[in-house]
A and B are shown apart, each in its own frame.
Chain A
Amino acid sequence: MANNDSKASMLDLFVFETNQMLEQLERLILDSEKSGGLEVAINEVFRIMHTLKGSAAMMMFNDICSLAHSLEDVFYYLREAKPPRVDYSELVDLVLNAVDFIKSEVMKIENGGNPNGDCADISERSKEFLSALKANDLSLTDTSQRPVSSELKPKYSIGVANISEDEGKSRYEATIYFDEDCGMENIRAFTIVHELSDLAEDIVYSPKDILENDTTSDIIKNEGFQIAFATQNSLEMVQKFFCKTMFLKEFKLNAVADANSKKPKQKKTIVLDDPITNEAMNSIVKEVEQQTEGTQSFISVNVSKMDMLMDLVGELVIAEAMVTQNPELHGLRLDKFYKSARQLRKITGELQDTVMSIRMVPLSATFHKMNRIVRDMVRKLDKKAELEIIGEQTEVDKNIIESISDPLMHLIRNAVDHGIEPARERIAQGKSEVGKIRLEAKSAGGDVLIMIQDDGGGLKKEKILRKALERGLIEKGDISLTDSQIYSFILQPGFSTNDIVTEFSGRGVGMDVVARNIEKVGGRISVDSIAGEGTTMSIRIPLTLAIIDGMNVKVGGANYTIPIIAIKESFRLKDQNLIKDTDNNEMIMIRGECHPVLRLYERFQVQTAVTDLREGIMVMVEADGKGICLFADALLGQQQVVVKALPTYIKKTKGIAGCTLLGNGGVSLILDVAGLNS
């Protein structure tokens, strides 16, 4: 791998992992804040900060590193000292601010820029927070700081050898220099002392307080580490020993004329903390094996590879249709062939389902992001509201997740900003002080339904009507509008109320942009409200756009495909059901309900011999609760179709959702029922 490639992929991984950790951290903090127990999360927050610090340091992003470090210090103190009075709300703010900072720095990095942000403010605050904690804490024990000195309980002691006899032993002196920047020279010196004690005695060294005093590292760096000892081992052995030292730059070793060396009479032994017994060992191994059986292993896959896989599966479906529905087979009796073809279909179908499920991702991450939004807004606007999340396990295609995140944020912001009233007002109205926003997702047939419901003041019909009049969307005296039609005016451009919360996202979107973004993924949004009680925004999105079950129909020489999901029924018209309304529009009466008729050949300007409604076929379709009857020449049959987008050169046509290739090589246009409705 070329240097640049590996650098780039390391950067990618850094960005990916850091973002993941930030997400995890944010969620952890918000969840524990909600459930009132930050204590449990302290250790994990500490660990995440520690890892963030480490990774940032590796990549030399020093600002991120130092910010993570200062927060790590705070949480280390919280973990060890367990101070009784902590301003958790401020702590959460601190962490969230830090998360935001790092997030934006990482985004700069992701886009090839430089992380040049200034976190001095947040760093200061966290240092002040820590000092305040320490000041408050009356019992300033050693555990209040990162232990530079040895523990309170001596968990070990340096082995000083037995009283040594003089026979056969030589005394040596050595001065050791470590490599520059190898870090923790005092501990490295300690390592030497520790390991030397296996083959030498009467060990003395300087600086003496290497364990207690980290500044001895500087002395060691400048003057080297000096150690003297007695040993029976040969000079060669001793040399070999020193040569094995990690990060050894150089050492001087010489034998010393034997003088009266100190001979301490005490015998101390090394005591290890928590020696692990064999049984304990076995149970650890067993526990670990059990754990790994239960946990699912995940791998991360590049999204573009997933997209390629999806495309290929789509092509496979088309190719399979081109084989099994080839016009050349028409009329031939091929029992064995069709049996194999069915088997092929079965396998292709399973492959399709599996690939699609890989791309499905639960909404939980997106939904939990909303927690943050509500929290921040509630604090800024001084209102009281809480978010209830239901059905977060509902899965949608990965592409869809990305497209609905922004619209959802906007809707949630609206709910807090315009929906939920200030606490006093709510109490005055007899409502609960804390407003409730309900974010719910559930799957319904081939769609996902997402609802954002608030128990706030609801939409003001008269206000909307007035604005609609102003903008010429309705005529004065137009009274035939249903409530739902009135409310849907807010989705028109120009209806966005002054967005005072642009500081939150800075995108300045209006409801019309929300609607458009949802439509882009094939979804629909509808608005409902009850004055004084609240507003509900309902979003319906098809689970997957890529492969659908369709019914092929013929209109003249053209082929159209109607998504099966939209079809309620199909039938041949009988005279008595057909009626005309005052505008001469054709309608059909079915079981007491009136449905308009849409002659496809008229709508799409296609020449066909079948113009008599009694000769062709009626297909009743429904979208958004409105049903219409499509008139076509004939049904051609059901087929699984791969939705292909119309080339971008051809701008979007109302009523056409895309196209697909038929088994005979022809192209069929896929109808967008909702689009035909309007």
Chain B
Amino acid sequence: MSEIAASGLEDGEDTQKDKFLTFSLGTEVYGIEIKFVTEIIGMQSVTEIPDLPDYVKGIINLRGKIIPVIDVRLRFKKVYREYNDRTCIVVVDIKGVTLGLIVDAVEEVLTIAEQEIVLPPQLENGSYHQRFIKGIGKVGKEVKLILDSDRLLTDNEMNSLERVC
């Protein structure tokens, strides 16, 4: 599994542009810019922390570093699914914040050129995850939902956590 990450990360900074790591949640496939991904690990035991939103599962020990992990399904307000062998944690580093994303499965590293990405339609009754999507990438006959990493991290809902404690 880490080989996928390695192959994607071997290339230099410039060549990271247009490369996305894709992962699946049910039938939908999402993509996140490879430059944010530091590694991919298998599911491991998560230490729960009380009094946090449901999608913040808790913290894990990554070689001595304590990292918070969120369940992306729950974050996107989808139905929770039990973790299995394919479940992975995608470790990302966005603006200095390290975070683990629990996903159903990791797919591959894809190159999606800028021209192939269109703005997402703003549907009135669209699904909740819309707010986190910044583009729709076309790869052959399929579409990949390109994530807005900033939003994922700093969406206003997140800030309301501060008042909880």
Contact = CB atoms under 8 A, between A and B. Distances in A.
A516 interface: no
B64 A661 contact: yes
B45 A654 contact: no
Nearest to B52: A650
Interface stretch (A228-236, A598-606, A620-628, A632-640): A598-606
B147 to A, nearest CB: 17
A656 B49 contact: yes
Interface string A584-626: 0000000000000000000111100000000000000000000
A606 B51 CA distance: 12
A665 B153 CA distance: 27
A646 B59 contact: yes
Interface stretch (A116-124, A300-308, A666-674): A666-674
Contacts of B67: 647
Interface in A557-586: 557-559
Nearest to B163: A651
Given A315-B64, A318-B64, A659-B66, A650 B59 contact: yes
Nearest to A319: B64
A652 B49 CA distance: 10
B13 to A, nearest CB: 25
A320 B47 CA distance: 22
B97 A649 contact: yes
Name the prevailing secondary structure of the A interface residues.
loop
Contacts of B6: none
Contacts of A315: 64
A559 B67 CA distance: 17
Contacts of B153: 649
Contact of B97 (A558, A648, A654): A648
A645 B67 CA distance: 11
B50 A667 contact: no
Contacts of A669: 47, 49
Given A646-B66, A647-B68, A667-B60, A606 B45 contact: no
A100 B99 CA distance: 46
A327 B56 CA distance: 29
A623 B98 CA distance: 34
A290 interface: no
B4 interface: no
A553 to B, nearest CB: 14
A151 to B, nearest CB: 67
Given A604-B48, A605-B50, A651 B64 contact: no
A79 B97 CA distance: 60
Interface size class of chain B, counting residues whose CB lies under 8 Å from the partner chain: 20 to 34
B161 interface: yes
Contact of B50 (A318, A604, A644): A604
A653 interface: yes
A553 B47 CA distance: 14
A8 to B, nearest CB: 25
B126 to A, nearest CB: 27
A558 B48 contact: yes
A606 B48 contact: yes
Given A644-B66, A667-B60, A649 B99 contact: yes
A650 B47 CA distance: 13
Contacts of B66: 644-647, 659, 661, 667
Q: Of residues B48, B49, B97, which shows the largest number of chain A Cβ atoms within 10 Å of its Cβ? A: B49
B11 to A, nearest CB: 28
A655 B97 CA distance: 24
Contacts of A645: 66
Interface residues of A, number: 29
B51 A653 contact: yes
Contacts of B60: 667
B61 interface: yes
Interface string A52-75: 000000000000000000000000
Contact of B49 (A318, A644, A650, A666): A650
B165 A652 contact: yes
Contacts of B164: 651
B59 A651 contact: no
B162 interface: yes
Interface string B86-100: 000000000001110
Interface in B84-126: 97-99
Residue of B66, B68, B164 most packed against chain A (CB within 10 A): B66
A667 B47 contact: yes
A654 B98 contact: no
Interface in A267-321: 315, 318
Interface in A108-167: none
B61 A661 contact: yes
A667 B98 contact: no
A311 to B, nearest CB: 10
Contacts of B52: 650-651, 653
Contact of B47 (A653, A655, A668): A668
A656 B50 CA distance: 9
A462 to B, nearest CB: 33
A665 B64 CA distance: 8
B68 A603 contact: no
Contacts of B50: 603-605, 653, 655-656
Contacts of A606: 48
Contact of B59 (A604, A652, A659, A665): A659
B56 A650 contact: yes
B49 A653 contact: yes
Contacts of A654: 51, 165
B68 to A, nearest CB: 5
B64 A666 contact: no
A648 B97 CA distance: 8
A650 B56 CA distance: 8
A666 B61 contact: yes
B41 to A, nearest CB: 13
A606 B50 CA distance: 9
A655 B164 CA distance: 13
A659 B47 contact: yes
Contacts of A649: 68, 97, 99, 153
Contacts of B56: 650
Given A647-B67, A649-B97, A650-B68, A667 B61 contact: yes
16 contacts: A315-B64, A318-B64, A604-B48, A644-B66, A647-B66, A647-B67, A647-B68, A649-B68, A649-B97, A650-B68, A651-B52, A654-B165, A656-B50, A666-B61, A667-B59, A669-B49
Which A-B residue pairs are the 5 nearest by beta carbons? Answer: A667-B47, A604-B50, A652-B165, A649-B68, A647-B68
Interface of A: 315, 318, 557-559, 603-606, 644-656, 659, 661, 665-669
Given A649-B68, A653-B50, 19 more contacts: A318-B64, A558-B48, A604-B50, A605-B50, A606-B48, A645-B66, A646-B59, A647-B97, A649-B99, A650-B52, A650-B59, A651-B161, A651-B165, A655-B50, A659-B59, A661-B61, A661-B66, A668-B47, A669-B49
